[in-house]
Amino acid sequence: MVGKEDENYVAWYILALFDYGVPVSNLSERQLNELWGYILAAFKKNIPKKDFFIKGEIHEIDMPHLEESFKLAQISPFQSYIDIRRSPLIGFYNRRLIIRMTIGTEDFFKIRNYRDDILRDLKFVFEDLIGVKVSVKDPEGIGEKPWEIKDIFYYPLIIVRNGSRLIKEEYSLSKQHSVDPIYSIPTTSLTYTLPERGKWFSLFSFKEHFIRVSVRSVMVFCEGWIPLEFKQALINAIYLGGLYEQMKRMRKINEPITRQRMRAIDDVILMNLAETIKEMVKTYIDAARIAEKQRFISFFIALLSFMLSTIALVITLIL
C-alpha cells in the first residue's frame, strides 16, 4: 500500500505480446502452467546477472482460481539501481505478459535512461523465451495445439500520479521566464487530453489527463489518479492499436525488412495507436456517463417515491 510519503509516484507497465506464429484462441490450462514455468525460469536465470536491473526472489501469488485469471508473481525482497516503491509484479495469460514497477516521481525525469536499461535487460529474458515450445497431450481429447513462441513484442505504459501538476508547473515556469509555454512536455510528442467524469453526484465536473504517445512509450500525466477501468481501457488500446499491429506487420515474412517494418512502433502505427486510445477511452467515458445518469435517475426516482410516500402518510394522519 502506498503511504503518504509516496503520494506521488509513477506506475510503469511493460506490456508484452507473445506471437505463436499462427492465430490462437487459448492455451489449455495445463499449457498455460507449463509456459508460466518457462517464464519464471527465464527471469530467475537473468536476475543474478551483475547489471540486471533488479535482484530478489520470485514468489508466485496464489490468485483466485478463475478460469481466465493472470498467473502472477512478485519479486521480493528486491534491490534495484532505481527507487522502486513496491515489489515488481509479473503477470501472464495466454499471450499477454505484463510487468509492473512503481518508482518515485523524483526519478521521473531520469526515466528515459532507466527505460532503455530495463528494456535491454528484459530483452535478454525474452530472448530466452523465443523458440520455447509447449508440449501437447491428447490433442484430440482436450484440443491442445503445439504452440511455439516465435517472437515477443513489448511497449511501456507509464502513468504519473498527479502528473498534470508537472505540466502546469512547467507552464508557470515558462511564463516566469517569459518563454512561450508551447515549449513544454506536451509538444515533445503527440499529446492530447482525455477527460474523466467525476463521481456521480459531480455531474458537471471532470478531470483532464494528459496522454503523451510516442514511438518509445505512452505516458499518462494524471490529474490525481485514474480508475481501474480507465487503466484497463488504456492497456487494451495499446495491445490492439500498437502491439497487435506490430505483430501483423512482422508476420509478413515474404516482404523485405524495411524502415516500415522495423520493430519500433513507427509513425503509421503511432497514429493508429493514438486514435485507438482515444476511441477506447472515449467508449469507457461514454459508458461511465450513461451509468452515471442511470444512477442519478434511480436515486431521483427513489427520492421522489420516498417523498410521495411521506406526503401520503402525513395526509393520512391529518385526515
Q: Does 146 share its domain with 173?
A: no
Q: What is the pLDDT of residues 103-130, one digit of tens each?
A: 887 766 777 778 888 888 999 999 999 9
Supply the range of the domain harboring residue 253: 162-289
Q: Looking at the structure, do residues 8 and 138 belong to the same domain, yes or no?
A: yes
Share of the chain above pLDDT 90, in %: 27
Are residues 105 and 192 located together in one domain of the fold? no
Residue 81 has pLDDT above 90, yes or no: no
Task: Say whether both 118 and 50 belong to one domain.
Answer: yes
How many domains is the chain built from?
2
Separation CA 124–CA 103 (nearest Å): 22
Looking at the fold, whether 133 and 253 belong to one and the same domain comes out as no
Tell me if residue 199 falls in helix, strand or coil.
coil
On whether both 23 and 64 belong to a single domain, the answer is yes
What is the rounded average pLDDT of the residues 67-95? 88
Kindly state the cell numbers that stand for 32: 498455460
In terms of domains, do 104 and 246 share one?
no
8 A C-beta contact, residue 17 and residue 244? yes
Q: What is the β-pairing status of strands 96-104 and 151-160? A: unpaired
pLDDT of residue 235: 92
* 142 and 249 co-located in one domain: no
Does residue 213 share a domain with residue 151? no
* Averaged pLDDT, 194-199: 65
If you average pLDDT over every residue of the chain, what do you get? 81
Count CB neighbours of 44 within 10 A: 13
pLDDT score recorded for residue 4: 41
pLDDT for res 253: 58
Read out DSSP for 215-253? SS-EEEE-SS---HHHHHHHHHHHIIIIIHHHHHHHT-T
Average pLDDT over residues 259-282: 73
Residue 203 lies in a domain: yes
pTM given for the model? 0.81
Residue 146 lies in a domain: yes
The more confidently predicted of residues 194 and 160 is: 160
Residue that terminates a domain, selected from 123, 139, 155 = 155
What's the distance, CA 23 to chain centroid?
23
Q: What is the pLDDT of residues 53-63, one digit of tens each?
A: 899 999 999 87
Q: What's the full length of the chain, in residues?
A: 319
Structural domain contains residue 280 = yes
Q: What is the DSSP string of 62-87?
A: -----TTPPEEEEEEEEEESS-B-S-
Q: Are residues 130 and 24 in the same domain?
A: yes
* Boundary of a domain, candidates 104, 128, 155: 155
211-240 confidence digits (pLDDT tens):
889 888 899 998 888 888 888 889 999 999
E strand or H helix that includes residue 186 = none
Is residue 303, in this structure, part of any structural domain at all? no
